[in-house]
Amino acid sequence: MASRVTRGMAVVAAVSALVLAGAAAGTAWLLWETDQRQQLRDEAELLVSAVNREAREERLTLAGAAPEALRESSVPGARVEVWAPAGLVASAGSGPVIGREGSAATDAAADWIVHRRRMVFPKASPAEVVAGQSAAGLHVLGIPRVDLALVSWRLSNAKAKPEILRWNLPYEIVVVALYPDDSCAGNQQ
């Protein structure tokens, strides 16, 4: 009887160690991926700023300013591309072509960049008024709001449909402020 208890305790300890190691590895991976996504966002914002600055300083179109901005500020070792509706405007770095939205390459990397996200405006706020009047892009400051009811539904239905646990996080952005009009003027081209 004592040997069974000892073996049981050893099994419980081993399983607990494996579960905790798995949880630690999963947490580390999630933190790493979150950091990589944030770095990608930061680098993209810096590139957009560099293209806008180059266009303003040299009085060029955004497409004309992109090659010089890439030469001056692209990240070493990374493939960077600037696309316009007409096609590839400029690129830097080695590696395969990333492609524009909708290509096979961007579909494979779709979880790295958010192309479209629902935005919610507080009723009668200045942001809502401007958004209703503007057909151009908006540069906004927002707070993410996660749909916890949908997360809960996914967890409770995961046994019947395991793929729902791999769906993207259900969230929207609550807009709390607008940046000045000139900060998104370059997005119209």
Q: Which two tokens stand for residue 181?
A: 């009009």
State the DSSP string of 103-134.
SHHHHHTTTTS-----EE--TT-HHHHHHHH-
- Condensed to tens digits (0 to 9), the pLDDT of residues 117-147 reads 778 888 877 777 777 776 566 777 888 888 8
Q: Which two tokens stand for residue 48?
A: 């957009």
Give the strand pairing for 140-146 and 171-178. antiparallel
- Condensed to tens digits (0 to 9), the pLDDT of residues 65-102 reads 888 888 777 666 677 787 777 778 888 877 777 766 55
Angstrom distances, CA of residue 48 to CA of 45, 98, 153, 181: 5, 17, 38, 15
Answering whether pTM is above 0.85, one says no
Does 189 have pLDDT greater than 60? no
Confidence of residue 186 (pLDDT cuts 50, 70, 90): very low
Question: Residue 137 has what pLDDT?
Answer: 67
- The C-alpha atoms of residue 92 and residue 76 are separated, in whole angstroms, by 9
With vertex at residue 82, the alpha carbon angle to CA 79 and CA 85, rounded to the nearest 5 degrees, is 140
